[in-house]
């Protein structure tokens, strides 16, 4: 019976790479994108910082591997992806409502995604451009269906969606950073969250009635 070749060194390398990749997420959550440097990442991983260069070439490559592996927008969409797949271009309002309400809930609960959005609007990088393109790809599939349903009607679903998404981002970031009311609504409690969800539903209902 032949002996299996020694795999210890390979396994150690893969474990170290995994720890460094996971450390990127730890730093994003604890320090934000401004804390993403070799010193902080290596400390979080409890590894020598030289391993970043050895295994990934540059710190940018390491960060890119982490961010690309997260699928933020897919996670935030909930069951909407399946709804889009099963739709033929009719009754698209429930899809958009589900997408926006899921994003509100997910964004509120996921500190890492909050930091990613702050990164997007604070600094222009290739990594963040690719994250934005991922978001646009998901919306592109939906708008193709809504265009079919609303053809010939003076309804700009893209503009309405843009305002609602931007509103969701700001309301959540405001609530998380200041813990104060916005238009006398406290998003940090269940009642406030339900009021915003209801408003999303009402706005879309009125939009589709035009």
Tens of pLDDT along 145-201?
999 999 999 999 999 999 999 999 999 999 999 989 999 999 999 999 999 999 999
* Burial environment of residue 171 by CB neighbours within 10 A (0 to 12, 13 to 18, 19 or more): buried
Rounded Cα gap, residues 1 and 22, in angstroms? 39
Tens of pLDDT along 108-125?
999 999 998 999 889 888
Tens of pLDDT along 29-41?
999 989 999 999 9
Cβ 52 vs Cβ 59: under 8 Å:
yes
pTM equals 0.83
Which pLDDT belongs to residue 6? Answer: 44
Rounded Cα gap, residues 101 and 181, in angstroms? 20
Of 170 and 127, which is predicted with more confidence?
170
Q: Looking at beta carbons, which pairs linking 98-103 to residues 24 or more positions away fall under 8 Å?
A: 99/142, 100/161, 100/164, 100/165, 100/168, 100/200, 100/204, 101/197, 101/200, 101/201, 102/76, 102/77, 102/78, 103/76, 103/77, 103/165, 103/168
3-state secondary structure of 188: coil
Cβ 128 vs Cβ 106: under 8 Å:
no
Of 72 and 22, which is predicted with more confidence?
22
* Average pLDDT across the chain, whole number: 90
């Amino acid at each position: 019976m032949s002996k299996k070749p020694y795999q210890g060194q390979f396994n150690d390398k893969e474990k170290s790479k995994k720890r460094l990749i996971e450390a990127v997420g730890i730093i994003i959550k604890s320090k934000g994108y401004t804390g993403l440097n070799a010193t902080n990442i290596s400390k979080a991983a409890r590894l020598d910082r030289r391993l970043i260069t050895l295994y990934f070439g540059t710190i940018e490559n390491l960060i890119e591997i982490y961010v690309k592996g997260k699928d933020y927008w897919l996670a935030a969409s909930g069951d909407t992806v399946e709804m889009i797949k099963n739709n033929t271009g009719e009754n698209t309002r429930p899809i958009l409502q589900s997408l926006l309400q899921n994003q509100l809930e997910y964004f509120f609960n996921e500190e890492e995604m909050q930091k990613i959005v702050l990164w997007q609007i604070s600094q222009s990088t290739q990594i963040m451009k690719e994250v934005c393109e991922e978001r646009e790809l998901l919306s592109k599939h939906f708008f193709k269906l809504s265009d079919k349903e609303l053809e010939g009607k003076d309804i700009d679903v893209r503009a309405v969606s843009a305002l609602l998404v931007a509103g969701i981002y700001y309301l959540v970031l405001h609530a998380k950073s200041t813990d104060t009311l916005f238009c006398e609504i406290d998003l940090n409690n269940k009642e406030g969250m339900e009021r915003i969800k209801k408003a999303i539903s009402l706005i879309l209902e009125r939009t589709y009635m035009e």
